[in-house]
Chains A and B, each alone.
Chain A
Amino acid sequence: MPQLVELKNLEGERSEFRRRAAIAGLFVLALFAVLLGRFVFLQVMKHEHYHTQAEANRISLVPIVPNRGLILDRHGTVLAHNFTAYTLEINPSLVRDLDATIESLSQLIEIAPKDRRRFKRLLDESRKLGAIPIRTRLSDDEIARFAANRYRFPGVEINARLFRRYPNGTLASHVVGYIGRINPKDVESLEARGLMANYRGSEHIGKTGLEQKYESELHGITGLEQVEVDSGGRAVRTLARTPPVSGNNLQLHLDLRLQQAAEEAFGGRRGALVAIDPATGGVLAFVSMPGFDPNLFIDGIDTATWNELNNDPDRPMVNRALTGQYPPGSTYKPFMALAALQLGKRTPQYGIHDVGFFTLPGNSHQYRDWKVGGHGFVDMHKSIVISCDTYYYQLAFDLGIDTISNFMRQFGFGARTGLDLEGEAIGINPSQEWKQRRFRQKWYVGDTISIGIGQGYNVTTLLQLANATAIIANRGQVFAPHLVNTIQDATSRTLRQVLAQPLRRLDFKPEHWQTVHQAMIDVNTPGGTGHRAFADAKYLVGGKTGTSQVIAIKQGQRYDASKIDERHRDHALYVAYAPADNPRIALAVLVENAGGGGAHAAPLARTVMDFYLLGQPVKPIDGPANRGNGSASGGGSGAERD
Chain B
Amino acid sequence: MQNAIETLWRRGTAHIDGPLMIAVSLLLAVGMVTLYSASNQSLDRMEGKLFNIGVALAVMWVVANTPMAQVLRFALPAYLLALALLVAVALVGDVRNGARRWLDLGVISIQPSELMRIALPLALAWYFDRYESTLKLSNFAIAAALFVLPVGLIAEQPDLGTALLIASSGCYVLFLAGLPWKVIFVLGAAGVASLPLLWSVMHDYQRTRVLTLLDPTQDPLGAGYHTIQSTIAVGSGGWFGKGWLEGTQTHLDFLPERTTDFIFAVYSEEFGLLGNAILLLLFLLVVARGLVITVNAPTVFTRLVAGSVTMTFATYAFVNMGMVSGILPVVGVPLPLISYGGTALVSAFFGFGLLMSISTNRKLIKS
Contact = CB atoms under 8 A, between A and B. Distances in A.
Given A28-B287, A54-B232, A231-B254, 20 more contacts: A6-B365, A7-B298, A16-B178, A17-B176, A24-B176, A24-B291, A24-B307, A28-B311, A28-B318, A35-B276, A35-B280, A35-B322, A38-B322, A39-B268, A39-B276, A44-B238, A50-B235, A55-B248, A228-B252, A229-B252
A54 B277 CA distance: 22
B-side binding surface: helix, strand, loop or mixed? Answer: helix
A544 to B, nearest CB: 72
A32 interface: yes
Contacts of A236: 252
A20 interface: yes
B136 to A, nearest CB: 15
Given A32-B284, A43-B239, A20 B178 contact: yes
A6 to B, nearest CB: 5
Nearest to B269: A54
B234 interface: yes
Nearest to A42: B235
B36 interface: no
B1 interface: no
A18 B295 contact: yes
B314 A31 contact: yes
B238 A36 contact: no
A232 interface: yes
A42 B295 contact: no
Contacts of B288: 25
B180 to A, nearest CB: 11
Given A25-B291, A54-B249, A43 B272 contact: yes
A40 B239 CA distance: 9
A36 B299 CA distance: 35
A24 B238 contact: no
A16 B295 CA distance: 11
B303 A17 contact: yes
A24 B172 contact: yes
A186 B100 CA distance: 55
Interface of A: 1, 3-4, 6-7, 13, 16-18, 20-21, 24-25, 27-29, 31-32, 34-36, 38-40, 42-44, 46-47, 49-51, 53-55, 57-58, 96, 228-232, 236
Contacts of B232: 50, 53-54, 57
B112 interface: no
Nearest to B238: A47
A124 to B, nearest CB: 20
Contacts of B314: 28, 31-32
A32 to B, nearest CB: 5
Nearest to B240: A43
A129 B142 CA distance: 60
A40 B252 contact: no
Contacts of B72: 3
A45 to B, nearest CB: 9
Contacts of B233: 54
Contact of A57 (B234, B238, B249, B268): B249
B26 to A, nearest CB: 16
8 nearest A-B residue pairs (beta carbon): A50-B235, A54-B236, A42-B235, A231-B253, A230-B252, A43-B273, A28-B314, A50-B236
Interface in B295-332: 295, 298-301, 303, 307, 310-311, 314-315, 318, 321-322, 325-327
A54 B276 CA distance: 19
Nearest to B235: A50
A217 B31 CA distance: 60
Nearest to B287: A28
Contacts of B221: 96
B237 interface: yes
A43 B234 contact: yes
Interface in B212-236: 221, 229, 231-236
Contacts of A53: 232, 235-236
26 contacts: A3-B129, A4-B299, A6-B365, A7-B298, A17-B295, A24-B175, A24-B307, A28-B311, A28-B314, A28-B318, A29-B284, A34-B322, A35-B318, A39-B268, A39-B273, A42-B235, A43-B268, A43-B273, A44-B273, A54-B233, A58-B248, A58-B254, A96-B221, A229-B252, A231-B252, A232-B253
